[in-house]
A = this chain, B = another copy of it.
Amino acid sequence: MHGVSHPLGRKVFYWLDLLGVAVFAVSGTLAAGYAGLDLLGVVVIAALTAIGGGTLRDLLMGRHPVFWMRDPNPLYVILLTALLTMLYVRVYPPPMGTLLWADALGLALFALSGAQIAEAARLPALVVVLMGTMSGAAGGVLRDVLTAKVPLLLRGDIYATAAIAGIALYLLLQAVGVRRPWAFGFGLATVAAMRGCAIVWPLHLPVFRL
């Protein structure tokens, strides 16, 4: 989907990325449901949550056309996922526990793949961290802004922080000679693990209040 060679093999990566899209689309659909939006609103919020971060990254990096314009499969995944999610929650309660864990995996995937894209464009390390974090976390911010909330991301919780740590580790390991596939794996695991800890225990960044 992103047109860069990838340590896990491009095929595997493509499917993992679509999985990430699906997970984020579920989270967007549920958020839209809690805000009481209509069917179209649901699809819009699902799409913004799932591809908003990557779209912002592509815009900032000047990658045209934006990734889902070349290959609209992410869009079909979003439509299908939103539909299935709405049907599912008519029968069963929303699987919030499972969702949180799937979301942690989605964050890890998007953060590391976004970082790789910025790395391939030879951007400075700090910008690589920023682009990766944005790919993983900006969709949720857009979701919150559109439903008129102060973005969750900005209020507490270890979320983007996990992405930052994992990407930093990925760059650091490569700098000390670790090969890219291994660095990628360790980075991925770090994001997922840190986010997982924040799900299990009430970890928060310190709040700055005036």
**Which A residues form the contact surface with B (CB < 8 A)?**
29-30, 32-42, 44-45, 55, 59-62, 64-66, 68-69, 72, 75-76, 86, 89, 94, 121, 123-124, 126-127, 130, 141, 145-151, 153-157, 160-161, 164, 204-210
Contacts A60-B59, A69-B127, A127-B69; A153 near B210 (Cβ below 8 A): no
A100–chain B nearest beta-carbon distance, Å: 16
Cα A151 to Cα B145 with chains together (Å): 10
Contact B204 A38, beta carbon cutoff 8 Å: yes
A147 CB to nearest chain B CB (Å): 6
- How far, in angstroms, from A89 to B209 measured CA to CA in the complex? 10
* Number of identical monomers bound together in the oligomeric complex: 3
In the assembled complex, the CB of A74 is this many whole angstroms from the nearest CB of chain B, namely 10
Are B39 and A206 within 8 A (Cβ)?
yes
Docked Cα-Cα span, A29 to B130, in Å, equals 18
- Cα distance A94–B208 when bound, in Å? 13
Contact yes or no, B154 A38, CB < 8 A: yes
Q: Please, which residue of chain B has its CB at the minimum distance from the CB of A209?
A: B36
List 7 A-B residue pairs with CB atoms under 8 Å apart, sorted by A's residue number: A34-B210, A37-B155, A37-B208, A55-B60, A75-B127, A145-B146, A146-B150
Asked if A44 contacts B94 (CB within 8 A), the reply is no
| Chain B residue nearest to A156 in the complex (CB) | B38
Is A66 touching B60 in the complex (CB atoms < 8 A)?
A: yes
Report the Cα distance A196→B80, complex, angstroms. 29
A69 CB contact (under 8 Å) in B45, B72, B123: B123
Q: Which residue of B lies closest to A138 (CB)?
A: B44
Residues of B within 8 Å of A61, CB to CB, are 64-65, 69
Given pairs A30-B210, A44-B160, A145-B148, 9 additional interface contacts (CB within 8 A): A33-B208, A35-B150, A36-B155, A37-B207, A38-B207, A41-B153, A69-B124, A94-B210, A148-B149
